[in-house]
């Protein structure tokens, strides 16, 4: 699936009678444009119709319902994340890291789509390509069978849930895509007598950042794959 990028505004195609005729590509492009607006945590079909200069009900000629539209939007940014991987297939660790970072950044760029990732399965070409990509990477690490599937599922769950949470936070705070956010907001008001360990590492806890933890999770899963395959 590709997005319509031939003009500065993702409009539908104008027919000779002056009415706007939509296609899936222009709708997807308009959805991405809406999702990238600061503070947007959901996409309205009415807003999407206004963005396209068309009757919102016309969108349902191309997508059976709102969930179908969101699946297609999610599948599109999933495809986009795969396009950003530049490492060679043999460098499986770099490829998984690049995919993870690209997904997190795209979710933060399009938070209204990214936050849906933990509850939607697209069953689209983008999702299937990414599943094959991750399985191929872990296969090159030396995994097979159950361990191959477990590590795919572990990495996939980590990317979708953590990247989606970061996307929601960025949208609510209005921060830039690459801005880190502290894991704990405000002071840790712990009782030294009851929570001595919290007090002992309070500065480190307050310094934790969500993107740093996201990357640490990816690194930990990669190391687990190496240990399981007997190469680490």
**For residue range 114-165, what is the model confidence (pLDDT) as tens digits?**
888 877 788 899 999 999 999 999 999 999 999 999 999 999 999 999 998 8
Both 51 and 94 in a single domain? no
- The DSSP code for 14 is E
**pLDDT of 5 strictly over 80:** no
pLDDT, tens digit (0-9, with 9 covering 90-100), for 87-97: 999 999 999 99
Both 59 and 93 in a single domain? no
User: Quick check: is 102 in a domain?
Assistant: yes
**CA separation, residue 58 to residues 63, 67, 222 (Å):** 9, 16, 45
Both 119 and 189 in a single domain? yes
User: Quick check: is 76 in a domain?
Assistant: no
Both 42 and 109 in a single domain? no
Distance of CA 70 to the CA centre of its chain: 13
By C-alpha distance, which of 132, 125, 83, 129 is closest to 103?
83
pTM here?
0.83
* pLDDT band for position 11 (cuts 50, 70, 90): low
pLDDT, tens digit (0-9, with 9 covering 90-100), for 163-221: 988 888 877 766 565 666 887 877 888 999 999 999 999 999 988 888 899 999 999 99
Both 135 and 178 in a single domain? yes
**pLDDT of 19 strictly over 60:** no
Both 100 and 175 in a single domain? yes
Both 98 and 190 in a single domain? yes
Distance of CA 74 to the CA centre of its chain: 8
Range of the domain at 156: 88-229
pLDDT mean across residues, the chain: 86
> How many structural domains comprise the chain?
2
**CA separation, residue 28 to residues 3, 76, 78, 164 (Å):** 6, 8, 13, 20
User: Quick check: is 75 in a domain?
Assistant: no
């Amino acid at each position: 699936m590709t997005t319509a990028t031939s003009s500065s505004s993702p409009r539908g195609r104008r027919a000779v009678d002056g009415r706007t005729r939509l296609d899936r590509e222009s709708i997807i492009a308009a959805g991405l444009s809406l999702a990238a607006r600061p503070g947007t945590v959901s996409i309205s079909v009415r807003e999407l119709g206004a963005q396209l200069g068309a009757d919102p009900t016309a969108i349902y000629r191309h997508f059976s319902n709102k969930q179908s539209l969101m699946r297609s939007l999610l599948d599109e940014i999933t495809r986009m994340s795969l396009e950003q991987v530049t490492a060679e297939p043999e460098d499986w660790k770099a490829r998984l890291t690049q995919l993870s970072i690209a997904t997190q950044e795209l979710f933060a760029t399009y938070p209204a789509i990214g936050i849906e990732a933990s509850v939607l399965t697209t069953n689209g070409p983008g999702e299937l390509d990414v599943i094959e990509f991750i399985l191929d990477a872990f296969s090159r690490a030396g995994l097979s069978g159950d361990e191959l599937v477990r590590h795919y599922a572990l990495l996939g769950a980590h990317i979708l849930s953590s990247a989606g949470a970061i996307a929601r936070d960025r949208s609510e705070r209005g921060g830039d895509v690459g801005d880190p956010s502290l894991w704990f907001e405000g002071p840790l008001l712990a009782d030294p007598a009851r929570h001595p360990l919290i007090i002992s590492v309070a500065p480190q806890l307050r310094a934790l950042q969500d993107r740093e933890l996201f990357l640490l999770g990816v690194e930990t899963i990669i190391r687990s794959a190496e240990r399981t395959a007997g190469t680490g």
